């Protein structure tokens, strides 16, 4: 026997769900600090939704700086093309995850698609430091491309212990 489902109540509860690394403000802007936002967008559709969210949530932002890293097998060019309406500066990086696409391969792929990359980085800590040094007052830093990239930025900003994957160098 099936249980009855109250769709109105379900919809109301879904609106209250907080999903880490999805449209998450990790650091608020202040006089000497830029806002840092993360979203695990990893495909064209989620990147398109992220672009709309950024335009809606941060209409007064100046430059948008993306830290982007993807998992091998995904379409980074399609994802990044969906973000181009924001006219971003792009920093490519890689996560600690063993399936992460290497930074130089990601840059090659984006270069082939005529997408300008401002900087490359072998890890998220370095990428975040580059983004912070590039940023001016009113700029927005966004980490995306995979939940792994978003999670690592959350770890850094919240000073959490990193999730280490066995049998690999955690800072490859």
Q: Which tens digits make up the pLDDT trace of 10-47?
A: 788 887 888 889 999 999 999 889 999 999 999 999 99
pLDDT at 2: 77
- Report the chain's mean pLDDT, rounded to a whole number: 93
| Predicted confidence (pLDDT) at residue 168 exceeds the cutoff of 70 | no
The reported pTM is: 0.88
Full strand arrangement of the beta sheet holding 140-144: 24-27, 35-38, 140-144, 64-68, 89-92, 119-120
Domains of the chain: 19-158 (3.90.190.20)
pLDDT at 7: 83
Of the listed ranges 66-70, 94-98, 148-152, 163-167, the one predicted with least confidence: 163-167
């Amino acid at each position: 026997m099936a249980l009855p489902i109250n769709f109105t109540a379900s919809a109301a509860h879904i609106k209250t769900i907080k999903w880490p690394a999805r449209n998450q403000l990790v650091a608020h802007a202040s006089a000497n600090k830029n806002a840092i936002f993360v979203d695990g967008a990893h495909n064209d559709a989620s990147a398109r939704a992220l672009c709309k969210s950024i335009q809606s949530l941060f209409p007064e932002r100046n430059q948008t700086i993306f830290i982007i890293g993807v998992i091998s097998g995904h379409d980074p060019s399609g994802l990044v093309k969906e973000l181009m309406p924001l006219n971003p500066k792009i920093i490519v990086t890689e996560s600690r995850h063993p399936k992460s696409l290497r930074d130089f391969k990601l840059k090659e792929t984006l270069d082939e698609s005529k997408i300008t990359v401002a900087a490359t980085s072998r890890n998220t800590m370095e990428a975040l430091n580059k983004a912070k040094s590039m940023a001016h007052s009113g700029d927005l830093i966004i980490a995306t491309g995979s939940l792994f990239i978003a999670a690592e930025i959350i770890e850094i900003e919240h000073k959490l212990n990193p999730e280490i994957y066995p049998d690999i160098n955690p800072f490859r």
